[in-house]
Structure 1
């Protein structure tokens, strides 16, 4: 029985005891009831340390790995530089917003991003058909994300043809690139995957971005309801529903108050140099 999960063992235990009690009632044989006491109640396994533990430096290492990707001799310099910008922008969008890589980010089009950057403040609108929970919501965009999304949109003509309604960040290709860079998390030694960036956002909101109350207690700087609203997580909770009634600018102000000082770009990276390469490929 040990090779089965606690949930499966619990069902087996409950159903078997119920069946033995049924046998006792229809046969009157006390042996059936005595067998119930022989069964050992399954024990819930002790909680293990979360194997996914990411901090700012981990995401910075991922960004740096994409920045340092060696150039394929068969790929033009322009395409190589543009690909780097897209990879980094993709990482930043996922880390700063906690959106699901496959269910949401992989469905965003150039037109979606253009509209997001045209808003003041910058906001991404996620309709229900682009969310796993079918939960339409606003996603505030951090200034760092905006900075890197701009060249992705403005310079897309330098890459193979990308109409405005085409997907910007395909999930499968990004997942493969994470396997290629093979960056390990500092605190756990575990390989960082694309999906871990959603967990990073949650952990930053829960454990890193905190404020001290007058009584000395430390609490998250971003309300759990706002965290879940942005992530489209626990969407049926009252906390999340309360944010569904707020104006986008109110959501942005609360988000940026907590995240404004978070910079996931390593000092070695220079976006201006990358864009200069695209403008002057020679």
Structure 2
């Protein structure tokens, strides 16, 4: 297996932390982005930087200059970027109407615009070598919009929209764009869930106020029953890296509890999507 230059975002915890360490353990050169490495994330940054084959970069993904500087640094040292893993993300939970325009903007800045910013910057190098892999970490809720996670789901829908079209558009050029759809996992992200800023409307939803609690209870039961392991997401990334160019599936579901729901929906959409491309004269992109 050839060693690759891999850029992974959101590596201070959760999926990103595990993925960076797992990919580096295979001998790949990993560049791991963490925000505020001299401040609140300094301990995590120092710990990850001690891992063999890992270089930590202080990057604010919503800052164009910061991201461009990171890409320039990698290119100056390595000459290219073979794999991009857009893992960093933010979550929001609560009554959708409580989300202000600013709340929605911030969610899309992290979950959609930031991945696109990176995709746009790495593509010229991947196209030049006619080979590359972009892995966008979405969610099962990027397939179904779940009540009380509407804004989060909408941002993941958008990320999936970017990924799905690019998958077919870039594959003839040697670049694979794929999606990982994790289910619910016990990671630090669940402790950093944002809520809407407009709390004035929450009281008007008293009729369904107990529904979120039921959801959290159900998720807790899922964790007890299935004991989901976040390392499974890191292993899914490794599997996609190892697969031959052009043979990587568009979507990979990593969800031991409710993943079959997502897989069934994905399979149905894949069939109809192929019909749509054919109807619009683009069937050659399906090959």
**Higher strand content, 1 or 2:** 2
Q: TM-score, normalised by structure 1?
A: 0.25
